[in-house]
Chains A and B, each alone.
Chain A
Amino acid sequence: MTDNSTVTADRRDGLAVIYTRGYINNQAGEEIARVAYSLIDEGHKALLLNLEGTTIVNSIGISILIEIIEKMIEIGGRLAFCRLTPTIDKTFHIMGLTQYAPIYGDEATAVAALRG
């Protein structure tokens, strides 16, 4: 189910914010990856994933997010998350994702940190 899952991006001078909606499963994860790799190809080296519109993810979707983190490490870029539900935040901590992609409470703080 993509559960009306949609992925959109907002480009801002080398930094891009990716917005998700709905359940992040394998299909939505692949759509996020497609958008992220397209942004990387355009030259964006800082990506922020704003998950405000997502209340549930599964481990298949997250494994695709790990692929994006790996790609960002390869190109010397930075990826961060913001607006996570407490459960998604907890899950990312359980998995250790936050060692490589920090989590911020709000978008403005995350953007400032990625630009810093």
Chain B
Amino acid sequence: MNGQAILREVTLTLPMAPDMEVAASKTATAIAEFMKMSPDRIDEVRMAVIEACINAFEHSHSPDRQVTMTFEVVGKGEPEELRITVRDSGVGFDPETIEEPSIEAKLREDRKRGWGLKIIRGLMDEVEIHSGREGTTVVMSKRRR
């Protein structure tokens, strides 16, 4: 991790229930504010967190109906990056098989949804997805500036 250390860590376990994504976004906001991230970048983190939660809530089919989130502030002395891990114990999926949504196709199709990963990738600096039979872990990072 290039000499970077975890300067602060917060773990949150959320039930898959309506509006819990908002609770997660509030935690992300508080931590990003602690890091002195700019308001626009905080907003982007907030939206990515909401999308990651909704994806887990809707698609994981997790038997425990829970999502575990870890927020890590990493840096060399000073906060440099916010790394957020969203983990479920659901059925998993193959990220390679997920078709990239396009507005042209969505306007023709009955199903307008399926934008979550595209939005997360567009708003965060780095996104990794690990998925298998034991669930899915999304790791997404945003630099302080």
Chain A: residues with CB nearer than 8 A to chain B?
1, 3, 23, 55-60, 62-64, 66-67, 69-70, 73, 85-87, 90-91, 94-97, 99-100
Closest chain-A Cβ to B97's Cβ sits at a distance in Å of: 19
Could you list some 16 contacts between A and B, CB below 8 A?
A1-B18, A23-B22, A56-B46, A58-B51, A58-B54, A59-B113, A59-B115, A63-B113, A67-B112, A87-B40, A87-B47, A87-B123, A90-B44, A90-B123, A94-B118, A94-B123
Q: Does B135 contact A (CB under 8 A)?
A: no
Which residues on the A side are within 8 Å of B21 (C-beta)?
58
Asked if residues B115 and A100 are in contact (CB atoms below 8 Å), the reply is: no
- Tell me if A's interface is mostly helix, strand, loop or mixed: helix
Chain B: residues with CB nearer than 8 A to chain A?
18-19, 21-22, 25, 40, 43-44, 46-47, 50-51, 54, 101-104, 106-107, 112-113, 115-116, 118-119, 122-123
Given contacts A1-B18, A87-B40, A94-B123, contact A59 B103 (CB under 8 A): no
